[in-house]
Amino acid sequence: MSDIDIRKQGRAGRITLTRPKALNALTYEMCLAIDAALKDWATDDDIALLVIDAEGERAFCAGGDIAKMYETGLAGDFAYGRKFWADEYRMNARLAEFPKPVVTLLQGFTMGGGVGVGCHGSHRIVCESSQIAMPECGIGLVPDVGGSLILANAPGRLGEYLGTTGMRMGPADAIYAGFADYFVPQADWPALIDALCTTGDWEAVDRAASPAPEGSLQDMQAQVDRHFAGQTLGDILRSLRHEESDFTHGALKALGHPAPLSMACTVEMMHRLRGDKTIRQALDLEYRFTYRAMEHGDFIEGIRAQIIDKDKSPKWRLGLEDTIAAEVPRMLMPLGAERLQFEEETS
């Protein structure tokens, strides 16, 4: 497959995304290929660890390839998108639960679907160019691919803040928020990959790591915790509007663009997932929203405005001042027989 290169190299299982012109956007076929490799390598004694990287300088993976999902959804066919998400989420779970070390190297943009491939490993490496984000609310979705769990486990109320605003995190902030573990200058990556493949010794990552350049999230923590601690999106907005500061002005501006329903559901998801939750619980909750996103949410309009027409002027179903609270439980209620199922389940 020309979009992805899956092979064994020494003691390592190698997965390289090879769509640099498309910012390595993840296709359905790429998801299935990764899932198949994970199944094979989990019990392969020749494989000591995995190394996942991508070609090009601009992105590890800037998200999912959603063109076909948009086309089918626009035509009223929601089955393709639901199958894409379900199979992708099962792959995300398999990666998060993989029984061997998983080293990921995240240059440039790592967003959306890229987080699902790059940020569930045991050794997640960023460099000078890394920009990690969960901007799904901007296209009428919620942070998914297991990213909701990472957000919920972030310090304080960073989950609500990063999940609703879609803020891009540089290397230090990505480490602080729990999306990455190590900073290794990109010039050192080839030698590190060679060492990992030759020896199968994941501790080579520890030896290669160095301090990351300074970030901004830690300094913002107190303000984030003060204003994003409410139970609902409305609580957050009221808190921000009650105070005049550079932070509140910037936060309100950022919250003025994404889909209000998506942001409200994201806040609720953070509350439900905070604490001792599993990747499968997070993916199940995410799937409740994405299953309904085309038919009852803003996904199709979000893609139209951001990707297709690129007018950046989406007409969301609900505004920030509308009564959103009643819609949140409808988007997140259990799916019954249509729920996300994992292969080990029999009922």
Query: Mean pLDDT lowest for which of 220-229, 232-241, 337-346?
Result: 337-346
Judge whether residue 190 has pLDDT over 60.
yes
Residue 341 belongs to a domain? no
Judge whether residue 82 has pLDDT over 60.
yes
Q: Measure CA 60 to chain center.
A: 12
Domain residues for 196?
A: 4-335
Which tens digit of pLDDT belongs to each residue from 262-298? 999 999 999 999 999 999 999 999 999 999 999 999 9
User: What domain count does the chain have?
Assistant: 1
Residue 345 belongs to a domain? no
Residue 303 belongs to a domain? yes
Question: Distance between CA 3 and CA 22 in Å, rounded?
Answer: 10
Judge whether residue 67 has pLDDT over 90.
no
Report the CATH number that the domain containing residue 107 is assigned in CATH: 3.90.226.10
Question: What does 255-302 look like in DSSP terms, one character per residue?
Answer: HTSS-HHHHHHHHHHHHHHSSS--HHHHHHHHHHHHHHHHHHSSHHHH
pLDDT at 297: 94
pLDDT at 347: 39
For residue 346, what pLDDT band results from cuts at 50, 70 and 90? very low
pLDDT at 13: 98
Residue 235 belongs to a domain? yes
Residue 24 belongs to a domain? yes
For residue 345, what pLDDT band results from cuts at 50, 70 and 90? low
Residue 18 belongs to a domain? yes
Judge whether residue 6 has pLDDT over 50.
yes
3-state helix, strand, coil in the chain (%, to 5): 50, 10, 35
Question: Distance between CA 187 and CA 207 in Å, rounded?
Answer: 15
- Report strand pairing: 4-9 vs 12-17: antiparallel
Question: Distance between CA 329 and CA 104 in Å, rounded?
Answer: 35
Judge whether residue 243 has pLDDT over 80.
yes
pLDDT at 253: 97
Percent of the chain with pLDDT over 70: 99
Residue type, 215: G
Residue 141 belongs to a domain? yes
pTM to 2 decimal places: 0.96
Residue 342 belongs to a domain? no
Residue type, 148: S
The pLDDT of 175-189, averaged and rounded, is: 98
Judge whether residue 50 has pLDDT over 90.
yes
